[in-house]
Amino acid sequence: MTARTEKTRIEIDNEHMDATFLSPKAKVPGVLFVHGWGGSQQRDLIRAKGIAGLGCVCLTFDLRGHAGAEARLGQVSREDNLRDLLAAYDRLLAHPAIDTEAVAVVGTSYGGYLAAILTSLRPVKWLALRVPAIYRDSQWQTPKRELDKADLARYRSRLIPVEDNRALRACAEFRGDVLIVESEHDEHVPHATIMSYRAAFQSTHSLTHRIIDGADHSLSEDVSREAYTTLLVDWVTEMVVGERLSLIQAP
């Protein structure tokens, strides 16, 4: 992408000098947040406010079956929630201030899994995954709550080949920048799952992997939540500032 240029003249002593204004594109990056299973947009709102302060348009939302709609939680499938995510992405890009070539997606746990798959269906420049969960490709349209938890735990405890999983295949094709955040004492997403994701990202522009010491899956301690917020905001700042510098410096 290039900077916006505007030719002009500077008048001086009855003469003129040719000049050119170079300025960043008027539109700004967009950031889409995807919460985890059983969660809501409430925690994302706190981090979104900080990132919006960088000059980004952020969108948080509640997946169907969540946040006041718990009666449906036992009915929604991964197909349903992926469609929710696609609808939210499309709504974000419809915002008039969005630079459609500068979109970040931030997913947590189940939301991280869906976010990874999203990159194979929509353009994403930056992808942040906190404790991304993973599931077998089978039973895609089965209500998620009905999946076998013991089988899922066994599946997550080993290194999963890229070709065996839809989310990992999407990661293998992703060419943007990636942040993976792991919890040291995660009771739901083991280190092997994180390494499956990390190993899948072979074509990225950059890959950053951080572990929050002492943290559990849900970041139940204030210190863990604050550490993640700092990690995420710092990384998004690096990405956004880098994008703006590239626009200004482009010939």
Q: Please give the helix or strand (H or E) that residue 191 lies within, else none.
A: helix 191-200
The answer to whether residue 249 scores a pLDDT higher than 60 is no
Strand partners, 9: 18
Q: Does the pLDDT value for residue 156 go beyond 60?
A: yes
Residues of the domain holding 176: 29-245
Q: What is the pLDDT of residue 18?
A: 80
Q: What is the number of domains present in the chain?
A: 1
Q: Are 201 and 178 in contact (CB under 8 A)?
A: yes
Q: Which of the four pLDDT bands, split at 50, 70 and 90, describes residue 248?
A: very low
Q: How far apart are CA 3 and CA 248, in angstroms?
A: 6
- What is the arithmetic mean of pLDDT over 118-140? 98
Residue 17 has a pLDDT of 75
Q: Is residue 24 part of a domain?
A: no
Which residues neighbour 163 within 8 Å (Cβ) at sequence distance 6 or greater? 169
Amino acid at 57: V
Please, are residues 54 and 240 in contact by the beta-carbon 8 Å criterion? yes
Do 107 and 119 meet the contact criterion of CB atoms below 8 Å apart? no
CA distance 114 to 77: 12
Q: Distances in Å between the alpha carbon of 224 and those of 22, 130, 189?
A: 42, 12, 16
Enter the pTM of the model: 0.89
In a domain, 217, yes or no: yes
Query: Whole-number mean pLDDT of the chain?
Result: 91
Tens of pLDDT, residue by residue over 3-58, are: 566 788 878 788 777 877 665 567 889 999 999 999 989 989 989 999 998 889 99
Is 157 inside any structural domain? yes
Helix (H, G, I), strand (E, B) or coil at 231: helix
CA distance 243 to 87: 26
Q: Domain containing 192 — which CATH number?
A: 3.40.50.1820
Residue 19 resides in a domain: no
Say if CB 57 and CB 46 are below 8 A apart. no
Percent of the chain at pLDDT exceeding 90: 75
Per-residue pLDDT reduced to its tens digit, 173-208? 999 999 999 999 999 999 999 999 999 999 999 999
* Residue 63 belongs to a domain: yes
Q: Is residue 182 part of a domain?
A: yes
The average pLDDT across 142-163 equals: 96
Q: Is residue 56 part of a domain?
A: yes
- The pLDDT of 65-73, averaged and rounded, is 79
| Torsion of Cα atoms, 164 then 168 then 173 then 176, to 10° | -170
Quote the percentage of the chain above a pLDDT of 70.
92
Please provide the DSSP assignment of 60-77 as one string: --PPTT-SS-GGGTTT-B
pLDDT of residue 1: 42
Q: pLDDT at position 240, please?
A: 87
Which tokens in the block code for residue 67? 């946040």
CA–CA distance, 45 with 176 (Å, rounded to integer): 24
**205 is a domain residue:** yes
